Structure 1
Amino acid sequence: MLNVAWSWPFLRLYVLTLLYFSANAMLNVIIPLKGASLGASNTAIGIVMGAYLCTTMCFRPWAGQVIHKHGPIKVLRIILVINGFALLLYPFTGLGGYAVARILQGVCTAFFSMALQLGIIDALPDKDRSQGISLYSLCSYMPGLFGPLLALSMWGSDRMHYFTVAMIAIAVSTGAVGYSAQMSSEPSRPAAQKTGQGDMMFKSFSRLIRNRQWCRCSLLMLVASIVFGAVTTFIPLYAGQIESGNAGMYLMLQAGTVVLARLALRKKIPSDGHWHASWIIGIMLLLTAAALSLSGALTAGAVWLYLGAVLMGFAQALLYPILTTYLTFVLPPADRNVMIGWFIAMADMGVSLGSLVMGLIADHTSYSAMYLLCAGLGAAMVIVAYERRRPTLRT
């Protein structure tokens, strides 16, 4: 029997995810290069890059509640129109216009990712849930296989018209696939208490900060995302300082590792509601080793840069689906959508801090020192991941 997570309705959602995130795979390279060409500091570049997920972070909890009330498909169709408008701003504006477009994209991504993930979670049986989440996340990373190289090939005053064509094509194709997608319009999980949206979110937040499982998962995701954000934003600039270093090759290797690891290990990802400390500790050690490799690449050479890409890819491939799947089991069903929204918001905050704070640190030290600090953060999370006893299934 065909696994439900691989059935046609879900495959169409994965294709939509791939198309939607293709723009970001190119923009993650174009924006830093554009900023550097205009003489912007690392801090300024970090602000523009960080505006995207900083906005996403702020809107995610509300997105979870809106989707719970109106259903994912209605929300999806509206935000695809807004996203198309944001993409059309990039070819015709400068760095300031990029910041506005990033904010609009941040709002869209908050609703897009929540709509798809909650739709997948609600529709899949428990045994297939981790595979569905992993495949969604896999397709969000797949554009990293080709996006950076396409962006580098488009970079240059005589080739940016290709960038314009690419943004228009992504806007149109994403809208076309999104409007034909089908998801359950009504949530299949228990309904939340009938209170105001803001009241509900703040009550959920007050409960989740007392939830030990949520706090630990969120802290791990926050710190790991700081490292991921520092890599995404500054590798296009750092790789140019390393002999034989190539940003496109690094990002392609990292994304390729994510894709292969997700495909190879998708059935191994725990989906039983228990805390698997050995998995999380191993991921944090991979993250630490990856950041150390990046830090040492300036003196040791490009081999260490590319080794860091592979290690970082494994960490990215495994951490998010493991933690998200775990939380779908242990969070209270009535508040789960909103609380998962807050958890994903912590990941967004981490990526934003990786751009904003680490850009400031890089301005005052160096990229190598910044990645050394990232390694220290990853090592500290081993202590957070450690668990001597099995936690209870519900709080």
Structure 2
Amino acid sequence: MDRPERLLTPPFVFTIVAELGVFLTIGMLLPVLPVYAKDELGAGSIGIGIAVAAVSPTALLFQPLVGQLGDRRGRRLLVVSGPLVVAGTVASYTFASSLWALVGLRLLGGLGEALLYVGAATIVTDLAPADRRGEAMSLYSLGLWGGLALGPVLGEAVLGDARYDAVWLTAAAFSLAAAFVAMTIPETRPAAGTRPAHRPRLLHPAAIRPGLVLVTTIFGFAGFNTFVALYARQLGLDGAGPVFFLFSGIVVAVRFFGRRLPDRLGAKRAAGSALVLLTVGLLAIGLWNQPIGLYLGTSIFALGAALAFPALMTLAISGADDFDRSSVVGTFSACADVGFALGALTLGGVASLVGYDGVFLFSAGFAAFGMVVLARLPTHVPVRALEAA
């Protein structure tokens, strides 16, 4: 029996470490930035929302372009320059004396996040054996989740009695360290001489349909993130901290211990299972209006969320050649931002019309629609079957 190709090589691990560094920066800002905008810059609720969300437009707009850059100039350029941009913009918060100066820096920071995210995800898929890409994406996401889990705790600890500059500089230092780590990663782009000639495409077609399915999964995640805290209080709970902890714990556990599920089940079957779990979980939250319903529904929803991204990314990557991989990642990751923005814009109106439980029921219907889109995607032949043929 042949031994599987090694996945956890030093470049693979260093890529995840670089990703972790940048997402520690992002995580540190999450609990601190709204307070800074309100207390130090005098921003109201709308201004706070703009400041927090300002990274999203540039990240969304630049991800497809960054993908093309990665295919033409290499992935290493992205994972080195991205953390440097993030470090420079976050350190510059120390000079942001107005809300609009902060918003401008946030917009620029979105470019850095796009560079890092697309570059790191592409390197991970470049390095992974073809039949272990689902596992690779599961491990890759642990850097993101680790940063977003640990960053807020560290940010509040450093903040103390309004030490905002200390937060900005500490957060920037993590991204600067990530850039130095990224410098040790070798280039993984295929040799230029073997690249087939075709016109560059802003949106890669291989990522469009898996990306549309991703939109239907992220839509519900946006509703969960935005309204579960309010819904938990409506159900008589003191807050949603334990709910978020349960969700994150399940996602991390499945991504680590079940990291090979997308490869063993097949990417399309794993994605279908994820959509079923997402739909059932959201229905349970919306229909069983009791704390136990919220916790049970969250557990099921988290299982689906853990499977969805690695499976759909694997499905997108398998539909393109090696030379377009960064473009595929750029297009696919932009779809995640589309799903989050669409969910945030739509579900606020749903909540005002039918209440918080209606948000989860509407999101369940959206996830169910994703099954229709997924059913029309081709099932790619496993790599080992192709090699044996």
Q: Which range, TM-score by smaller chain? A: 0.7 to 0.9
CA contact (8 A) 2:219 2:339 kept: yes
Which runs of structure 2 are paired with 1:60-79 in the superposition (5 Å)?
A: 60-79=63-82
TM-score, normalised on structure 1?
0.79
Choose from 255, 258, 268 the match for 2:251. Answer: 258
TM-score, normalised on structure 2?
0.80
Choose from 318, 325, 336 the match for 2:314. Answer: 325
User: What is the CA distance between 1:16 and its match in structure 2?
Assistant: 1.9
User: What is the CA distance between 1:193 and its match in structure 2?
Assistant: 5.1
Residue in 2 that maps onto 1:185: 187
Cα RMSD (Å): 3.6
> Which segment is superposed worse, 129-138 or 261-270?
129-138
Relative to structure 1, the CA distance from residue 53 to residue 346 in structure 2 (aligned partners, 3 Å threshold; closer, same or farther) is: same
CA contact (8 A) 1:230 1:355 kept: yes
Choose from 282, 300, 303 the match for 1:311. Answer: 300
Residue in 2 that maps onto 1:140: 144
Aligned partners of 1:243 and 1:94: how far apart in 2?
39
Relative to structure 1, the CA distance from residue 36 to residue 253 in structure 2 (aligned partners, 3 Å threshold; closer, same or farther) is: farther
Q: Which runs of 5+ in 1 are unaligned?
A: none
CA contact (8 A) 1:32 1:233 kept: no
Choose from 115, 118, 125 the match for 2:119. Answer: 115
| Pairs aligned (count) | 375
User: What is the CA distance between 1:342 and its match in structure 2?
Assistant: 1.2
Choose from 53, 57, 60 the match for 1:54. Answer: 57
Relative to structure 1, the CA distance from residue 223 to residue 71 in structure 2 (aligned partners, 3 Å threshold; closer, same or farther) is: same
What does the per-residue CA deviation read over 1:337-389, in whole Å, with 9 as the maximum and x for residues that have no partner? Answer: 31332122111211122233333444555433323211221122233333698
Relative to structure 1, the CA distance from residue 36 to residue 6 in structure 2 (aligned partners, 3 Å threshold; closer, same or farther) is: same
Residue in 2 that maps onto 1:343: 332
Q: Which runs of 5+ in 2 are unaligned?
A: 384-389
User: What is the CA distance between 1:62 and its match in structure 2?
Assistant: 1.0
Aligned partners of 2:319 and 2:264: how far apart in 1?
11
Residue in 2 that maps onto 1:384: 373
Aligned partners of 2:68 and 2:90: how far apart in 1?
26
Aligned partners of 2:89 and 2:274: how far apart in 1?
35
Which runs of structure 2 are paired with 1:222-371 in the superposition (5 Å)?
A: 222-235=215-228, 238-270=231-263, 276-277=268-269, 279-295=270-286, 299-301=289-291, 303-362=292-351, 366-371=355-360
Aligned partners of 1:143 and 1:253: how far apart in 2?
17
Relative to structure 1, the CA distance from residue 84 to residue 287 in structure 2 (aligned partners, 3 Å threshold; closer, same or farther) is: same
Aligned identity (percent) is: 23
CA contact (8 A) 2:283 2:361 kept: yes
User: What is the CA distance between 1:265 and its match in structure 2?
Assistant: 0.8
Which runs of structure 2 are paired with 1:92-107 in the superposition (5 Å)?
A: 96=100, 99-107=103-111
